[in-house]
Structure 1
Amino acid sequence: MEPTAIIRKTPADWRVAPNFSDYGAERARFDWNAVAASLTGPMGVNIGWAATDRWLATKKAERVAFRFLAAGQPPKEMTYAELARQSNRFANLLRQLGCAPGTVVFVLAERIPELFVSVLGSLKCGCVASPLFSAFGPEPIATRINLGRGKVLVTTDLLYGRKVAGWREAMPTLQHVLLVAAEGGQTAVPGTHDFASLMAAASDAPVAGVTAAEDLALLHFTSGTTGTPKGAMHVHAAMLTHWATGYYALDLHPDDIFWCTADPGWVTGTSYGIIAPLLHGVTSLVDREEFDAERWYGILQDQGVTVWYTAPTAIRMLMKAGAELAQRYRFPALRFIASVGEPLNPEAVWWGKEVFGLPIHDNWWQTETGGIMIANTPAFDIKPGSMGRPLPGVEATIVKRNEEDDVSVIDTPDVEGELALKAGWPSMFRGYLNNEERYRKCFAGPNHEWYLTGDLAKRDADGYFWFVGRLDDVIKSAGHLIGPFEVESALMEHPAVAEAGVIGKPDPVVGEMVKAFVSLKKGWEDSEALRRELLAHARKRLGAAVAPKEIAVLASLPRTRSGKIMRRLLKARELGLPEGDTSTLEGGA
């Protein structure tokens, strides 16, 4: 099967009727105000209330909100009613500690119930929630807490001893540290509070207060190539996007068992591991363990997962483990698979169809957008390699920047330019923390109406968008602009290649030459003959002008913990340049 062939959809492919089946009509009638009305309640526009207490007067109250999985332990379940009570306790606890609306509460924990309770409770009382990835080292943790002027930190006793205690004096704004006993029970560490004791003493009555749509709710950090992390600020109205994208892009239905594999320390794990599924009243799985192919197949089978949202890295790792492993399992409940984090190679889309009987649906968004903007959805044809089409409520286009740093819209299909979004969707970030100038530079056009994503893309005649590369990743070779994703996808079509990363390497003749780095699937070994075969394969698929001129085989490629291949790190190491901010590097802490 040609990886670029279109996957045609018919009603026979739908295991349930999709929420979104008439593209033009649904986009035409969509209204953000209608979504807002359905999610607003006695606490105003408040993510915590809408995700939990909104269900208390319904049959959903006793439905399982979260099923927590951990190796060697029976599953732990928390209903919507219990989640509402526990998050109310945490909200009241914060008030008792003197936390006013706007106080930043950091949560540093593995995927344990207390993490989810703390995030939702913080939102309920008007504080700003900022989950941190538990594998961060001490310095990245301290940097983020200091940037956010964090007053409260919720963490475990083990993480505190390993990563926080020695840096406590370097975080002058941090007043309260609440420790969860890693093995249950209570803790007694000097200078900290015992989480369990404070929670037991707190009221579970709804906290008094109202939040508005534009009140700050979430603080997500995203790293650039250099310098300190950027803190993207999101407001309570962001949940309108979380609800809408859960409905349109993830196709959540009331009885779904949903599994988002992202950690809440990343924006995907907060937006779609916590908020969106709760807004739809579905049951979410939360697995505490790290990736293991056999374990993941077992979860999909044994837990009856119906909708699965994961990352291209995980999909490639499953591919690397071999189809024979997948064939030992059955997935009769699974009806929809989606992927995000970086572009999904066409080969992986087809692999999903072969292994699960379902293609994998790629979608696109950023930390700054707060939610999914462009997606492949269940009812519509898939063009493997495409990110899909804009969702209802989202207007996307391709633009060209001019010398005055203004933009002109490119209407011609298949012309590369910068992907831009019409400003104003509810989960659009409202600023970079303490960096207003950098925020303003993200917008251009009349009245700054276009958010410039920094991604090079193109739109075809059918309205599907195609990722070409980050603007700073695009390779300029002999007058050609080469997007690394296209080259990586071609290499991924070879049966030996598990993953690929492509960079531009300075060349005195052509400006930059294309160099590829690959890791191999199980059963393949590096050799000069294999590398020549891979180069020939790429030339046949792409032509000599675009294909790589050099190839290197690595045991694995450097990735962020959220799954993105770090091309800039490959380039820095190849050229002996400074590596910049590596706080999000997988295995770097």
Structure 2
Amino acid sequence: MPVETLPPAPNLADYAQARQYFSWAAAQRLLSGLPDGRGLNIAYEAVDRHVATGRGGHVAIRAIGRTGTRDLTYRELSVLSNRFANLLRSLGVGPRDRVFTLLGRQPELYVAALGCWKNLSVLSPLFAAFGPEPIRNRLLLGDAQVLVTTTTLYRRKIAPQRDRLRGLRHVLLIDAPDRPPDDTLDLRTALDAQSGEWTIPATSPEAMALLHFTSGTTGTPKGAVHVHEAVVAHHITAGFALDLRPDDVFWCTADPGWVTGTSYGIVAPLTHGVTLLADDGDFDAARWYQVLADNHVTVWYTAPTALRMLMRAGSDLASRYDLSALRHIASVGEPLNPEVIWWARQTYKLSVHDNWWQTETGAIMISNYPSMPVRPGSMGRPMPGIEATVLRCGDDGRAAVTDDQVEVLGVDQVGELALRPGWPSMFRGYLHDEFRYRKAFAGGWYLTGDLARIDADGYFWFVGRADDVIKSSGHLVGPFEVESALLEHPAVTEAGVIGVPDEVAGEIVKAFVTLRPGYQPGETLRAELIAFGRRRLGAVAPREIAFDQNLPHTSSGKVMRRLLKARELGLPEGDLSTLERAR
């Protein structure tokens, strides 16, 4: 008789014990450090230490391109990134100089990132679908000296404004071996001329390594600074929250232009020695299932938006593919609706483990772990080593600060989610904006700008961004709760909820809904949805429903509530650099 293989025990088997005995110093000892005690370098922990311990022949990256698949072993990745470090040095690019990438998930992205860190330069990845203006703004704000991109992207988005990009000294094109445009270099030709040997210089854990841009509701993008010590948090959180281990095939679907696509699309999985799947294709439900099946993916990290799109495609489609290798699914980017978790349990026979973090935190802070029950709709519980709480808010929806003191709230009270500073991947500043950075801290806490509550068992529940929360007739209404309730109706495939001014209630809840195929907008369905909402939500249900088959999204898939509200009220639309139309 065949022997049934039991799933491996989770890396985080006993949450209470792990929190009791955890220390960041012990987490750092799980990594190697540079030889001879010369510090801590992201690239060494991600690649070179595996070569040094005999795993150089293991596949590090399986790059699925539009014309085929290419495997890179850890040894090959080490040599190529050494060549890139030598190339940077030959161009006069050194420590703290900024190297930007404008690429998809091509192998050259990973080579550039790792080579950049080996040279102690600073990597700043950009979303390849950005338009010319947001690209220019970030290159200028980040003091870009080097840009790695494709010939097509260069000609469309960089060349017409090259004379306005002061300080951009070098453009390296990954696909122009014969006649690169003027003032550019072909990367492959340039790498071939470099040595494959490189010794990583001594690296302070506090050396600047990453610059991630994050857009606020108004104003210019903020450049969050991260250091080499962040690798400690990347590694340990990927073990605890994503349950990674060296024999895994891991697929993080996040674009490398966003923090998830770097922290968990490059650094964290490579530190665990996994085979990292790098898929450069567009979303298509059937193709995604084919990728999961053909590559025997074991751990899958994706976004709620993608899961909702797969849910829309139906369980019958999923059943046509062998997904038996999957043992863990996690999501991030926005709150995960309970309905999606219930659907995934039925379709994949696995729960989806939602987690929460931000560009500024650099790594996962709160998670649903494999060793504990998932509470659908919950963010989970704080990572070992992370102290989190909720603080009382003032009238502006942010933590109320009196003489630099704040008030910690009790069970099921809604307040601003706050974290005690000190974890290794905590951002060290906003580039060139010390005032903005200082405003993010008060009373010994980092203020996240998110509203949440904590239940009696220590699970955190997302309510909304402080600037999204609706104040209606004395109630604080979280848009996510309303959106999730509407998604339970069979006609609704997506929803965005805002507050609109009302003389009596202060604000009323208005929902914009996208309908599934086969349903038509009209007064009958509008009345049905309002009644459905009242049955589910009571007094905080939407009073108005609008039908919209083209809700505005960020390029990472979130519904842009801010833009819905601006359009509804005739307000300035603010920074639209992350709007999905940039695709």
Which TM bucket (shorter chain)? over 0.9
Between the aligned partners of 1:364 and 1:31, the Cα distance in structure 2 is 21
Output the CA distance in 2 between the equivalents of 1:547 and 1:367: 32
**Counterparts in 2 of 1:65-76, with a 5 A limit?**
65-71=60-66, 73-76=67-70
C-alpha displacement of 1:452:
0.5
Give, as a single letter, the amino acid of the residue that structure 1 aligns with 2:312. K
2:533 to 526, 538, 545: 538
In the alignment, residue 157 of structure 2 is paired with which amino acid?
K
Are 1:102 and 1:126, in contact at CA under 8 Å, matched by a contact in 2?
yes
1:561–1:584 Cα contact (<8 Å) kept: yes
Q: Which residue of 1 aligns with 2:368?
A: 376
1:151 alignment partner, one of 141, 145, 152: 145
Please show how residues 10-21 of structure 1 align to structure 2 within 5 Å: 15-21=7-13
Residue in 2 that maps onto 1:137: 131
Tell me the TM-score normalized by structure 2: 0.96
How far, CA to CA, are the matches of 2:272 and 2:343 in structure 1?
29
Q: Give, in angstroms, the shift of residue 403 of structure 1.
A: 4.9
Question: Contact 2:555/2:582 (CA < 8 Å) preserved in 1?
Answer: no
Question: 1:24-423 residue pairs with structure 2 within 5 A?
Answer: 24-39=16-31, 40-42=33-35, 44-71=39-66, 73-181=67-175, 185-400=177-392, 401-404=399-402, 406-423=404-421
Deviation at 1:188, TM superposition (A): 2.1
Segments of structure 2 that go 5 or more residues without pairing to the other structure are 393-398
With over 3 angstroms needed to count, the CA separation of the structure-2 counterparts of 1:89 and 1:100, relative to structure 1, is: same
Rounded to whole Å, the distance in 2 between the matches of 1:479 and 1:409 is 20
- Describe the shift of the 1:208–1:326 C-alpha distance in structure 2 as closer, same or farther (beyond 3 A): closer
Question: What displacement does 1:514 show?
Answer: 0.3
CA distance in 2, matches of 1:222, 1:208: 30
Pick one of 438, 441, 451 that aligns with 1:440: 438
Q: Distance in 2 between matches of 1:527 and 1:538?
A: 17
Cα pair 1:414 1:458 within 8 Å, conserved: yes
For 1:139 and 1:375, the matched residues in 2 are separated by 36
1:470-549 pair list within 5 angstroms: 470-543=465-538, 545-549=539-543
> Which sits farther off after the overlay, 555-564 or 309-318?
555-564
* Alpha-carbon distance in structure 1 between the residues aligned to 2:68 and 2:255: 21
1:138-157 CA-partner distances (Å, limit 9, x unpaired): 11111000001111111111
Gaps of 5+ in 1: 1-11
Secondary structure of the corresponding residue to residue 323 of structure 2: coil
RMSD, aligned α-carbons: 1.5
Give distance in 2, aligned partners of 1:384 and 1:488: 14
Distance 1:405 1:472 in 2: 23
C-alpha deviation, 1:513, in angstroms? 0.7
Query: Counterparts of 2:62 and 2:200 in 1: how far apart (Å)?
Result: 29
Runs of 4+, deviation exceeding 6 Å: none
Whole-angstrom CA distance in 2 between matches of 1:195 and 1:70: 18
Equivalent-residue separation in structure 1 for 2:477 and 2:456 (angstroms): 21
8 Å CA contact 2:401–2:442 kept in 1: the answer is no
After superposition, the Cα gap between the structure-2 partners of 1:246 and 1:403, relative to the gap in structure 1 and judged at 3 Å, is closer
For the residue of structure 2 that corresponds to 1:91, the secondary structure is: helix
Contact 2:409 2:415 in 1 (8 A): no
Instruction: Give 1:528 deviation, angstroms.
Output: 2.1
Give the counterpart letter for 2:78 in structure 1.
A
3-state DSSP of counterpart to 1:408 = coil
- Secondary structure at 1:62 match in 2: coil
Q: Secondary structure at the match of 2:30?
A: helix
Counterpart amino acid of residue 437 in structure 1: F
Alignment of 1:554-565 (within 5 A): 554-565=548-559
Tell me if the contact between 1:180 and 1:187 (Cα under 8 Å) persists in the aligned partners. no
- State the alpha-carbon separation in 2 of the partners of residues 559 and 222 from structure 1: 15
Q: How big is each residue's C-alpha offset from its partner over 1:491-548, in whole Å with a ceiling of 9 and x where there is no partner? A: 11112211111000111221111000111223333232222111111100100x2000
Contact 1:242 1:271 in 2 (8 A): yes
Partners of 1:180 and 1:186 within 8 A in 2: no
Does 2:541 correspond to 1:569? no
String of CA shifts for 1:81-113, please: whole Å, max 9, x gaps.
000100111011101111120000001112111
**How many percent of aligned residue pairs carry the same amino acid?**
60
- Secondary structure at 2:375 match in 1: coil
Secondary structure, in 3 states, of the residue corresponding to 1:213? coil
Q: 1:297 to 1:208 in 2, by over 3 A?
A: closer
Residue equivalent to 1:5: none
Distance 1:20 1:311 in 2: 23
Displacement of 1:577 after TM fit?
Answer: 1.4
Is the CA contact 1:136–1:583 (under 8 Å) kept in the aligned structure 2? yes
CA distance in 2, matches of 1:301, 1:275: 24
The Cα offsets for residues 363-393 of structure 1, whole Å up to 9 and x where unpaired, read as 0000000010000011101110000000111
Supply the distance in 1 between the matched residues of 2:292 and 2:534 (Cα, whole angstroms). Answer: 38
> What code does the residue aligned with 2:88 have?
L
Q: Which amino acid aligns with 1:476?
A: K
Q: Distance in 2 between matches of 1:13 and 1:587?
A: 46
Residues in 2 aligned to 1:186 and 1:422: alpha-carbon distance in whole angstroms: 53
Instruction: Report the CA distance between 1:407 and its aligned residue.
Output: 4.2
Residue type matched to 2:331 in 1? S
Q: Check 1:187–1:35 CA distance in 2 against 1; reply closer, same or farther (3 A cut).
A: farther
Residue 4 of structure 1 is matched in structure 2 by none
- Asked whether the equivalents of residues 106 and 154 of structure 1 are also in contact (C-alpha less than 8 Å), the reply is yes
Q: Which amino acid aligns with 1:549?
A: R
Counterpart amino acid of residue 318 in structure 2: A
Aligned-pair CA distance for 1:588: 2.8
Provide the secondary structure at the position in 1 that maps to 2:582. Answer: coil
Please give the secondary structure, in 1, of the residue aligned with 2:34. Answer: coil
